[in-house]
Amino acid sequence: MIDLRSDTVTLPTAAMRAAMAAAEVGDDVYGEDPTVRALEERAAELLGTEAALFVPSGTMGNQVAIACHTRPGQEVIVEASSHIYNVELGTMARFSGVQPRVIPGERGVFTPAQVEAAIRPDLYYLAPTGLVCLENTHNAAGGRIWPVGGAREILALAHRRGIPVHLDGARIFNAAVALGLPARELAHGFDSVMFCLSKGLGCPVGSLLCGSGAFIAEARRVRKALGGGMRQAGILAAAGLYALEHHVDRLAEDHEHARLLAEGLAQIPGLSVVPPETNIVLIRIERGPDAATLCARLRARGVLASPAGAGTSPREVRMVTHLGISRRDVARTVDLVAEELRAAGA
């Protein structure tokens, strides 16, 4: 199967598996796993923060950050199609007792003026603004890179008002490679940053939450409360260390494959395609079957793709390139989509 559903479907390479098998381990809840400690130190170095914390998932990393930055009864400013708001099961309300303050963005990006308008005035009967969250790259917007200048303006505005800013940087290394910048530049100024190992970096599991030493000390307590304390986790951390050394620069290959996929699909009558900035391709079916029907037909022919998801049109399909996708897979996918649309009379 050619699996384009997500970059989470990657399998560990033979070299990554070897690194995992050879990992030195200990009990991380006691702070005694040397490989976990090495991964956290490396993550902090790459993101330019004082410390980092290894967590099982990106969702946990985001929610730990929200719990650390806020107190019950506050609001969190989020973009309308953001991952934190749409597909993390309302955990900010369930666990932290805060509610989202939703801003509609332009392809996932809101402006400093929108943030300023959304910050609550200091009135006793209003829920105060406790946190602002950005997402880079923006998943639902097709892997869009948050403009660096705009992010810095939002950081300056929020900090002037005494409000922390968290970055859901699940795919921050995709953004960094696409821009030709170190990840620390995209993370600079944020009060916390989460990034995933289990997406384009190709690890089987895990994310890192990065921030100040005091923030990470509190995050470690919250992680435990959420059931995220792991024992001999160095076996998993070894995969992360390997990925950070060997799988970052190769993300450019995924971006090139996404570009070729988008260009090929854009030539097919009945489709319109958003030019990808990184490794996510959004396709709109203008004529022919809806997204669910097309994806079912492609599955029967050996290609896995998904309807675009929450908050999107039922005629939008998402395809994601990753280390398991070759140039040949891209060409085959384009051919099969064209055949299916022709068969449907599009």
What CATH number does the domain containing 81 carry? 3.40.640.10
Specify whether 28 is located in the same domain as 161. Answer: yes
Residue 306 counted as domain residue: yes
At residue 82, the pLDDT reads: 96
At residue 83, the pLDDT reads: 96
Widest distance between CA atoms in the chain: 62
Predicted structure pTM score: 0.96
Residues in Cβ contact with 129 at an 8 Å cutoff, skipping those fewer than 6 apart? 74, 75, 76, 77, 101, 118, 119, 120, 161, 163
At residue 311, the pLDDT reads: 58
Residue 55 counted as domain residue: yes
Specify whether 54 is located in the same domain as 194. Answer: yes
Specify whether 44 is located in the same domain as 56. Answer: yes
Helical (H) or strand (E) element with 304: strand 303-304
Specify whether 231 is located in the same domain as 314. Answer: no
Question: What is the number of domains present in the chain?
Answer: 2
Give the separation between CA 303 and CA 207, rounded to whole angstroms. Answer: 28
Specify whether 228 is located in the same domain as 286. Answer: no
Domain containing 312 — which CATH number? 3.90.1150.10
At residue 346, the pLDDT reads: 61
Specify whether 240 is located in the same domain as 256. Answer: no
Give the separation between CA 85 and CA 89, rounded to whole angstroms. Answer: 8
Residue 7 counted as domain residue: no
Q: Which of 207, 230, 246 is the last residue of a domain?
A: 246
Specify whether 117 is located in the same domain as 228. Answer: yes
Helical (H) or strand (E) element with 58: helix 58-69
Residue 164 counted as domain residue: yes
Under 8 Å between Cβ of 127 and 161: no
Residue 69 counted as domain residue: yes
Specify whether 45 is located in the same domain as 191. Answer: yes
How many other C-beta atoms can be found within 10 angstroms of the C-beta atom of residue 256? Answer: 14
Residue 62 counted as domain residue: yes
- The DSSP-derived string for 212-279 is -HHHHHHHHHHHHHTT---SSTHHHHHHHHHHHHHSSTTHHHHHHHHHHHHHHHHTSTTEEEEPPSSS
Q: Please list the pLDDT of the chain residue by residue as tens digits (346 residues).
A: 999 999 999 999 999 999 999 999 999 999 999 999 999 999 999 999 999 999 999 999 999 999 999 999 999 999 999 999 999 999 999 999 999 999 999 999 999 999 999 999 999 999 999 999 999 999 999 999 999 999 999 999 999 999 999 999 999 999 999 999 999 999 999 999 999 999 999 999 999 999 999 999 999 999 999 999 999 999 999 999 999 999 999 999 999 999 999 999 999 999 999 999 999 999 999 988 999 999 999 999 999 999 987 656 789 999 999 999 999 999 999 999 999 999 887 6
Helical (H) or strand (E) element with 129: strand 129-135
Specify whether 234 is located in the same domain as 269. Answer: no
Specify whether 226 is located in the same domain as 297. Answer: no
Q: Which of 201, 218, 246 is the last residue of a domain?
A: 246
Specify whether 216 is located in the same domain as 330. Answer: no
Under 8 Å between Cβ of 28 and 230: yes
Residue 66 counted as domain residue: yes
Under 8 Å between Cβ of 109 and 83: no
Specify whether 272 is located in the same domain as 178. Answer: no
At residue 308, the pLDDT reads: 87
Residue-number span of the structural domain to which 118 is assigned: 12-246
At residue 288, the pLDDT reads: 85
At residue 314, the pLDDT reads: 85
Q: Which of 197, 218, 246 is the last residue of a domain?
A: 246
